[in-house]
Chain A
Amino acid sequence: MAAVGTVPARENAGKGAISIRNVTKIYDPEGVNVLAVDDCSLEIAAGEVCMIVGPSGCGKTTLLSAIAGFHSITFGEIYLDGELLCGPGKPLADQGADRVVVFQNGALFPWMSLADNVAYGPTVQGRLNKTQAREKALDMLAEAGLADVGDKFPGEVSSGMARRAEIVRALINDPKVLLLDEPYRAMDALTKSIMHEALLEMYDRTKVTIFFITHDLEESIFLGDRVVVMTTRPCRTKKIVEVNIPRPRDYHILSSEEFRLLVDEANEAVHEEAIKAFEAGERELA
């Protein structure tokens, strides 16, 4: 579905294919020498919701950081729409507004109101002037059901609202890819399910490519087109589950038969990795 209402059609619609080829990341090669990602390859189509599931500390976030340009990679290369992001000779990708990250604990600037936060991207890139950006920000917030709280500071609204505003802040830049790093981790299950529906609704509107990191299997099946189960450190792809549940989805799906079958299919692999990660964790501390 194309964009509705006040938002003009997305310029970057249909873009955002990520190609991760043989990526390896070694932290601190001269010292502790930790192999975080080992020869990982993954193709993500434009407009796909790709869910990455793996135990915490397995190296998923490293992968996201490499795409976003926070961390360099040691070997391999990553392409966005056929253009090299990082690879040999250019280990660190440039940071840019075509790949916007939503962070685990939220990174709305607490010193700016929600509207200013959302308007920040276009203003700082010089695409829009302050008033225009603010207007657009308020429009987009209203669309996400946050019309009344545009002038509030992030500390004044609930974490659920803040998280939605953060996604709006990402979307206003018309990114090719939205990178989400366990954004709902700290929320309780019921709030989470409401947040999921809000995210799905935004996705149905924009069809932006989503790279979503989580360790919650149900969340990933509910949201994703494809669930990639990762091994514990070093990070490799272990199993890929295609999710063919039609969109738009709502919470009824969570208790449907097809959902159950998918959970059943992926559960074994995830559980195995969880135990492995757990045992590794115990060993490390002993």
Chain B
Amino acid sequence: MSEPVAGQPQPGVTPVQGPPAGLGMFLYKARKNLTGSTPYLMMGGIGLWLLTWWLLCEVFSVPRFEKMPGPVAVLSELFSVEPFLGISVFTQEYYQHIYLSCRRIFFAFMIATGLGVPLGLFMGWSKTVRDYAFPILETVRPIPILAWVPLAILMFAGFEAPVIYLATLASFFVTTLNTLLGVDSIDESYFRAAGCLGAKRRHIFWHVVVPGSMPFIFTGLQISIGVAWFSLVAAEMVSGDGGLGYLIVDAYMNNVTVPMVIGMITLGFVGWITSALVRLVGNRLMQWRVRALALEGR
């Protein structure tokens, strides 16, 4: 018996009219999205939030809120060519801070991934490695990263190394544990199937363990980059020299609030971009998963 394959037109079945292509599809989607109330409500939500902020801080100057800069003050400073307080999108200093923080995150993230992923993979792959390494990891992990600050300052000379060390430590734990979890999540039958097909132990590592734990690894990396930002900010605040965390705390010391809020907004934005980047890379590497999920999502 040979069945007709999907792809050949079958007699007696009305052909499904295909989706419109290109611009037609775009217009169709846009129309469909705009007919519901959701986009308007969402815009309304953001608007409402900005309005509340504005009213509280700038219009009515409610006690305590008056100390905070309102959205108008922040935005006009952020986009002014000659900023009153020295920080705006047109100043080099602003980008200097972003660059410094991003560079630190980059190094920390790379080191943590470079150490954490292999360690996690080996721990999942070999029971011996796991039995030895896991208890140490679990003993050290409950110590909050920020408790390391003084030690980090003592252990590493200069400004840069302690900050990177702290961010690395934070993301290292998350990455390692998620990778381990990823290896554990691989169905036993994949190992067996590979064994049946004649794969040796090293083949199984490269063809089953590594790709099979990918989804968890990337979930871990997304969390890990968030945690890295979290500790980076703290470290920059305490010991740093430059960077967005420093920008915030420096503004606080100088009693100016606007650059502080600019620093916060920028942090949120840059943090969001980096985690989106990680997701993007993950999706590129895991086409098999993206496509399967896209079909299920329907």
Report which A residues bind B (CB closer than 8 A).
68-70, 95-97, 99-101, 103-105, 107, 109-113, 120-121, 124-125, 145-149, 153-156, 169-170, 173, 194, 197-198, 200-201, 250
Chain A residues with CB under 8 A of B207: 109, 120, 124
Judged by a CB distance under 8 angstroms, whether B199 is at the interface is yes
Name the B residues within 8 Å of A155 (CB-CB): 288-289, 291-293, 295
Instruction: Give A97 to B197 CA distance when docked, in angstroms.
Output: 5
Residues of A with C-beta under 8 A to B212:
109, 111
B291 pairs with A68, CB closer than 8 A: no
Which of B2, B190, B214, B295 interacts with A107 by CB under 8 Å? B190
User: What is the count of residue pairs linking A and B with beta-carbon distances less than 8 angstroms?
Assistant: 102
Q: Is B3 in contact with chain A by the CB < 8 A criterion?
A: yes
B286 CB within 8 Å of chain A:
yes
* Number of B interface residues in the complex (CB < 8 A): 33
Alpha-carbon distance A112/B288, docked complex (angstroms):
7
Which positions in B face A, CB cutoff 8 Å? 1-7, 187, 189-190, 192-200, 203, 207-208, 211-212, 214, 286-289, 291-293, 295
In the complex formed, the residue of A with least CB distance to B286 is: A111
> For the complex, what is the distance from the CA of A148 to the CA of B5, rounded to whole Å?
7
Asked if A147 contacts B195 (CB within 8 A), the reply is no
- Contact pick for B3, options A101, A156, A198, CB 8 Å: A198
Q: Decide: A153 and B193 in contact? CB cutoff 8 A.
A: no
Nearest CB in chain B to that of A145: its residue: B3
A156-B190 in contact (CB<8A): no
Cβ-defined partner of A156 (8 Å) among B5, B199, B295 = B295
Task: Note all chain B residues with C-beta closer than 8 A to A121.
Answer: 197-198
Q: Are B192 and A70 in contact (CB under 8 A)?
A: yes
Q: How far is the CB of A250 from chain B (nearest CB, A)?
A: 7
Query: Do B292 and A110 touch (CB < 8 A)?
Result: yes
Q: Which of B200, B207, B287, B288 has the most CB of A within 10 A?
A: B288
**CB closest residue in chain B, given A204:** B1
